[in-house]
Each structure stands twice: as C-alpha cells, then as structure tokens.
Amino acid sequence: MMDQVRKKQKMYKVLIIDDDRSTRYMLKRFKKWESYGFAIADEACDGKEALQKLKSCYFDLIITDIRMPGMDGIEFLQEFKSMNWQACVIFLSTHSDFEYAKQGIRLGVFDYMTKPLNDDLLGEALERAKTYLDEEYKKRTKMEAEKKQLAESLKLYYPKKREKKLAACLLSGSSLITKEIENTLLEITKIFENDLYKMGILLNMLLANLSEKIYATFPWLQKLGDKNFTYDMTEAQSIAEMKQKFFMYINSCLEMIKKYELHHADSVIRRTCAYVIEHVEQDIKLEMIANEVHMSKDYVGKLFKQKTGCNFNDFVTKVKMEHAKYLIQTGEFKNYEVSEKLGYSKPDYFSRLFKKYTGHTPTEFKKLYNNV
C-alpha cells in the first residue's frame, strides 16, 4: 500500500557520478528507486562530465563519489555551489575518505554513504532525501503561488507607458534607452519606496513582457540559441543591485538586437537579416535574398553594406558562427556535424572560419566551455 501511495507522488530525477562503472551499475540495479519517489535520469564518470550535463538538465538528487580522476566530488561540489544551482547532494565513498566527507559537510552536502553499498542504508538515505525534497517543493510551490497572487495585486501599478517606450528603444536600437531605464526605475522606486520584493515582482513582469515583445517581433532569434542575462529581481538585496540587474538585462537585449542588425528601420535590411537567421543551417546566397525581396542582388548587397557597415557575406558568417557556438555548447554534435548543419561541406574550412571569428578552434572552444 505504501508503495502505491508513493508512486502517485512527485518523482525526483537522480544523477549518479562515479568513475567506477560497477558502482554505477549497483546503484542502478537497486529495485526500490521508484517506491521512494526517485528515477535515475542520467550518469557521469566524473565531476566535469556532470557539470556539463547540469548545464542542460535539472536534477533533484545527485549521488557522487568523492575520489575520482579528473574532477573529484569536492571540486564538483565547489563548482556546483558557485553556480548557485539547487539539488540534494549525497557523497558516496569509503570509510578512509571520511576527512573528504567532512569537507563536503562544510560545503553543504546533504548526506554521506559508504562503500560497499548497502540496500537498507541506501533506502534510509533516500527516505531522508525524499522528505527534504518534498519540503523544499512545498516551499517553492507556496512561494510561487504567493508571488503570482502578489503580481495580480500589483497590476494596478504596472508602468504600461514605460514598457512601450522601453520596447520602442530596444527595437530601434535607440541610445535614449539609458534615460528610459533610469526613468522607469525612478518611477517604480517612488511607488514602493524601499519594498524591494514588490519592486522586484513588478520589474520581473516588465522584463517578461519586454522579452515577449522582442521574440514576437523577431521569433527567428530563438533559432540562434541566444541566452540573455538571467533575471529575478526579487533576489536583489538592495536597490543598487536591483538597478544593476535591470540595466544588465535590458542592455543584453539591446546588444542582441544590434548584433544581428535588427534595429534598422529599412524593411529590406530587416527582411534580409531575418532570412539569414531563419535559414542559418542552409548554404545562403545573396541571390536567395534578392528573390525574397524582389530586388537585384547587386542592389541588395550595396544597400546592406551602406546601412549596416558590413558585407553581406560577413554577416552570414557571423550568424553562422554564433549558431555554431550554440551547437558546440550543447555537446550533442561532433565538429564535422556542426560544419554540415551550417552548410559547410569541408570541416577544415569551417574550423578556420570559427577560429578567425572566436580566436579558438571548435575543439578548443568546446574544452573552454566545459571548463566554465
């Protein structure tokens, strides 16, 4: 009966980290994961591989060995904490590694289990982890509900005129945006004085709506995998920090729009840029754009150079290299596969272009990203 009840409850995702394949096998063969409310979602052979997986996937419970070649459990936990990621972490090692375990305790590790694994002790550890995660889930759910309710009550103070002006500045690349940011923050600060939490919720609403407007205008931007500054204004500890975060997010949006030359009023330029981004994984030629806008390719090429200051082919290369960075960071493709996806038949040529654009070969870039 207890197992049936648990199966209806929330299931938590588990990541196993251990260089010993037999230990990973022993953990996976444990038959009661589901009855305790857990499901093994993935595994890694060391801390570095685990960090890479954590960049693209969330795990509720992480069970990691302490001693591992490459990046050990302590180094992994330090990196994990520095990223401000949230998860329940259990250390797994031998009795002789207890000094390492104490370091983990100081870093906030949730629990510690010794090898060889014991099913009963593993079950007890999972029981404790389940209780902790359930409580954290309840807290988050309650907080999100309260935040949503408060956001509804704050709609009365929502700065619609400021949103309209900020959006106009963003989409046109106007230098007046700095003044609009300052005016927006001044207006909201006057309303709520020193109530940081309410200010944060209102600014979150404003940023969400601005993002929505940008992607509604330029939906193809999402194809490039551009990641803007992550924001949650309610986490700010002071008005100064809140202002800094707000400026950072707005400016990151502005930089993205300018990077892809989307702030030009000329419709031909916008349509040209849109076409390149929309077809980034194809072999793009100026003739294709000319057919799209019903003009000669020579005229489109000259107009593009005149309005943007860069050659059309250089712009195409920039967009493709930005998309290449994203594809490489996903870890899903080999270098030659990235080359093929972007329409380059020769991987060596792609590598030369990539190094000229980023200063690193695709392999070097991948290593650098993995070490971040």
Domain edges within the chain: 2-142, 158-259, 267-370
In a 10 Å sphere around its CB, with 0-12 CB exposed, 13-18 middle and 19+ buried, how is residue 152 labelled? exposed
Structure-block tokens of residue 341: 């996806």
* pLDDT one digit per residue (tens) for the chain, 372 residues: 444 444 456 789 999 999 989 899 989 999 899 999 999 999 999 888 898 888 778 899 999 988 888 888 888 888 888 877 889 999 987 766 666 666 777 777 888 888 888 889 899 999 999 999 999 999 888 888 887 887 787 888 888 899 999 998 888 888 888 999 999 999 888 888 778 888 888 899 899 888 888 888 777 676 565 554 457 888 888 888 988 889 888 888 888 888 777 777 667 887 888 888 888 888 888 888 888 878 888 888 898 888 888 899 999 999 999 899 888 888 788 899 999 999 898 999 999 999 999 899 998 888 776 654
3-state secondary structure of 230: coil
Determine which helix (DSSP H) or strand (DSSP E) holds 113, and give its type and residue range. strand 111-114
3-state secondary structure of 62: strand
CA dist., res. 56 & res. 41, Å (int)? 13
Determine which helix (DSSP H) or strand (DSSP E) holds 114, and give its type and residue range. strand 111-114
Structure-block tokens of residue 307: 């309005």
Q: What secondary structure, in 3-state letters, does 72-108 show?
A: CHHHHHHHHHHCCCCCEEEEEECHHHHHHHHHHHHHC
CA dist., res. 59 & res. 12, Å (int)? 8
Rounded CA Rg of the chain: 25
CA dist., res. 185 & res. 182, Å (int)? 5
pTM: 0.55
- Rounded-to-5 percentages of helix, strand, coil across the chain: 65, 10, 25
Rounded to the nearest 10 degrees, what angle do helices 160-172 and 196-217 cross at? 40
Position 222 scores a pLDDT of 66
In a 10 Å sphere around its CB, with 0-12 CB exposed, 13-18 middle and 19+ buried, how is residue 370 labelled? middle
* Superfamily of domain 267-370 in the CATH hierarchy: Homeodomain-like (1.10.10.60)
Rounded to the nearest 10 degrees, what angle do helices 286-293 and 312-330 cross at? 110
Q: What CA–CA distances, in Å, run from 79 to 75, 83, 173, 177?
A: 6, 6, 37, 36
Token look-up 């995998």 returns 225
CA dist., res. 297 & res. 208, Å (int)? 39
Structure-block tokens of residue 318: 């920039």
Q: Which residues pair with 61 in a beta bridge?
A: 14, 88
- Domains 2-142 and 267-370 are alike in CATH topology: no
Could you tell me if 110 and 80 are in contact, meaning their C-beta atoms sit under 8 angstroms apart? Answer: no
Structure-block tokens of residue 366: 């991948």
| Domain 2-142, architecture per CATH | 3-Layer(aba) Sandwich (3.40)
